Amino acid sequence: MGRLYIETVHDSGGEGGEGRVRKIFKCKWCKVEFASYYDILSKEFQGRFGRAYLFRNVVNISLGPSEERLLVSGWHTVCDIYCTSCQQILGWKYEKAYEESQKYKEGMYILEKERIHGTWLLIPPKSMQARARYMEWNAGWASILKITLQTIPVL
C-alpha cells in the first residue's frame, strides 16, 4: 500500500493571519478536508441522503465510473465521488448536463450535507482582551450552526 497523499483545502476566504477563520468541510468519518465554505455555489440541492451542497472545488476525493443519470433537473453524465482516505461515498460530480439551463453544473461537485462536517479553524488575535471576545463570539455561532471549533495557536 502506498502512502496516501492528502491535500489541504485552499481557503479563498482571505489572507492568513490572526483574527481570521478558516471554514472547512471535512469527512464525517476520517476528518480529511474536502472543501472550503467559500466554494459553495448553492445549498439548495437534493442528494440521496437529504440536503446537499454544490461546490466549485473539492479535494481528497476519488471518482467512480461515469454514468448517465436522470436527476430532478434532467439527464446528466455524473460520477460518484468517494473519500480517498476512508472510501465513504460523498456525493457526485457533474461531468455533462444536456439541458442548456443546467450547463453551469458541469465540472462541479455535490457533497451530501449528512456526510460532511463543518469546522471553523480559528486563528485568534494575539492580544488577550481581543482574544476572549473573539473566542466567545465564534463559540456562539458554532453552537447555532452545529459545527466544531478548532483553535490554531498563534506563536
Site for Zn ion in 52-81 (CB under 5 A): none
Do 2 and 60 form a contact (C-beta atoms < 8 A)? no
Which of 8-16, 22-30, 106-114, 142-150 is the region at the interface with Zn ion (rule: CB under 5 A)? 22-30
Contacts with Zn ion: how many residues (CB under 5 A)?
6
**97 sits near Zn ion (criterion: CB under 5 A):** no
| 126 DSSP 8-state letter | S
Instruction: Pick the binder of Zn ion from 10, 12, 29, 67 (CB under 5 A).
Output: 29
Q: Residue 90 and residue 106: Cα distance in Å, rounded?
A: 18
Instruction: Pick the binder of Zn ion from 18, 20, 30, 123 (CB under 5 A).
Output: 30
Instruction: Pick the binder of Zn ion from 77, 85, 138, 148 (CB under 5 A).
Output: 85
Helix (H) or strand (E) holding 129: helix 128-145
Nearest 5°: phi and psi at 154?
Answer: -100, 130
Nearest 5°: phi and psi at 99?
Answer: -85, 135
**41 sits near Zn ion (criterion: CB under 5 A):** no
Q: Residue 142 and residue 95: Cα distance in Å, rounded?
A: 34
Least distance between Zn ion and beta carbon 10 (Å)? 19
Closer CB to Zn ion, residue 63 or residue 86?
86
Residues lying near Zn ion in the complex (CB under 5 A) are found at 27, 29-30, 83, 85-86
